Amino acid sequence: MPDYDNIEIVDSHHHFWDLDKNYYPFLCDKIDPIFFLGNYEKIRQNYLPVDYDKDIINHNVIGTIHCEAEWDRKNQVGETKWIENLAKNNKFPNAIIGHA
């Protein structure tokens, strides 16, 4: 029988954001009551590597991929630079999908 507690996981899609330092219109501006993904009030808070580490405590995550998270379209490269800096100082993310 496989040892499911030790399965290596690569999280292929997650987001980090720091709403105190960066501008994400859908997270920082007024809530859109007809947002295409439904009610998103609960995610309108910072979510950083320390938060992710708490969420994966019981899982063997060996790598992650950060997907762009609707950073201000006037500075799309800014998000990739910010995530790249996070990656230098944390275990994750190991890859970045930027917005183009």
Phi, psi of 93 (to 5 degrees): -85, 165
67-99 burial, b at 16+ Cβ within 10 Å, e below that, comes to: bebebeeeeeeebbebbeebbeeeebbeebeee
Q: How many CB atoms lie within 10 A of CB 27?
A: 20
User: Quick one: pLDDT band at residue 80, thresholds 50, 70, 90?
Assistant: very high
> Taking a C-beta distance cutoff of 8 angstroms, is the pair 11, 59 a contact?
no
User: What is the value of pTM for the model shown?
Assistant: 0.88
Per residue in 14-70, pLDDT tens?
999 999 999 999 999 999 999 888 899 999 999 999 999 999 999 999 999 999 999
Which of 3, 9, 1, 2 shows the shortest CA–CA distance to 59? 9
Q: Which of 1-15, 20-34, 79-93 has the lowest mean pLDDT?
A: 1-15
What span, in angstroms and rounded, lies between the C-alpha atoms of 93 and 1? 31
Domain residue limits, the chain: 4-97
The distance from CA 6 to its chain's CA centroid, rounded to whole angstroms, is 24
1 pLDDT above the threshold of 70: no
95 pLDDT above the threshold of 90: yes
**Type of residue at 60:** N
